[in-house]
Amino acid sequence: MEKGLKIFSYLPNPRVWKAEIAAKFAGIQVEIIGDKPSEIPNWLWDAEPKKLSDADKKKFKQFERIGKRGFSSSLYKTDDFIKLIPFGTVPAAFSPDGKIGIFESNSILRAVARQDKANNLYGKNSFEASRVDSFLDSGLVFSREHQEYLFGLKDMNEALYQRMKSAYEFFLNGIEESLKYNNFIGFDHLTIVDISFFCDFSQFLREGHYADDLKNKGFNLVSENFVSDYPKTYNHLMQLSQLDEFSSVIGTYLDWFKRKLEESN
């Protein structure tokens, strides 16, 4: 196996799964380093990440920074980390020699797909690759909206909810349209578009865990009618979830959603 990227993140993280699933299809190695979200403030965010003892935390005091997106506690991000990953986010990936930092989960996914020799994960030619990028760009807009929405789920407000609803409808309409013409999103073969969509959308579906919080504020789940409104997208999601390359990475993540659907039928 070719030596692959090193990825640092809190775990589990659907954004990390993108690269892991692509690596399974491509038969290449990725090294995943991390810990559960509550422990990640106790890690040195670096190209050589490591768990910090209390003594280490004193030693690395100069690297202590307050989290900017999702984390509100202190995080220990080295200067080298910020040089390589200037926005300071995880997942953060590093080239095998630790000299090149790659951020944004879709770009880490692309980095894996670029090493793929046999599966056309990044399209069959440069035009297809650009079409893959088109879908990934749209996916990033959706996922940025759902990131803010998921952060706000416990105390939803009208503005945030309506932003999410409109981003959801816009994005899902496009995905559903493209599935009218192809067996995969935008193509007749599986690409990283399917992988990225699968991971981002599965993460978005976590809103289902907060149905009661939303209801208390007078809101329904944005994805309330997902199955009937977007049947092709739903079928595609379910079919992908059954492929070994996906199921071996995501484990039981979608089981609660599948159970809920069974119960409602």
Shortest Å, Cβ 215 to ligand GSH: 25
Residue 12 neighbours by CB under 8 Å, 6+ apart: 251, 253
> Closer CB to ligand GSH, residue 42 or residue 239?
42
> Closer CB to ligand GSH, residue 145 or residue 234?
145
Q: Does 34 bind ligand GSH (CB under 6 A)?
A: no
- Contact predicate 11/5, CB 8 Å: no
Alpha helices by DSSP H, listed for 43-191, are 54-59, 79-84, 105-113, 126-151, 158-181
What tokens does 66 get? Answer: 């307050």
If you ran DSSP here, which 8-state letter would residue 153 be given?
Answer: G
Q: Which of these ranges, 62-70, 188-196, 218-226, 237-245, lies near ligand GSH under the rule CB under 6 A?
A: 62-70
User: Which of 177, 167, 180, 191 has its CA nearest to residue 240?
Assistant: 191
Interface residues for ligand GSH in 81-120 (CB under 6 A)?
88-91, 104-105
Shortest Å, Cβ 75 to ligand GSH: 6
Q: Which of these ranges, 68-76, 111-119, 161-169, 203-211, lies near ligand GSH under the rule CB under 6 A?
A: 68-76
SS3 98: coil
Contact residues for ligand GSH (CB under 6 A)?
A: 15, 67-71, 75, 88-91, 104-105
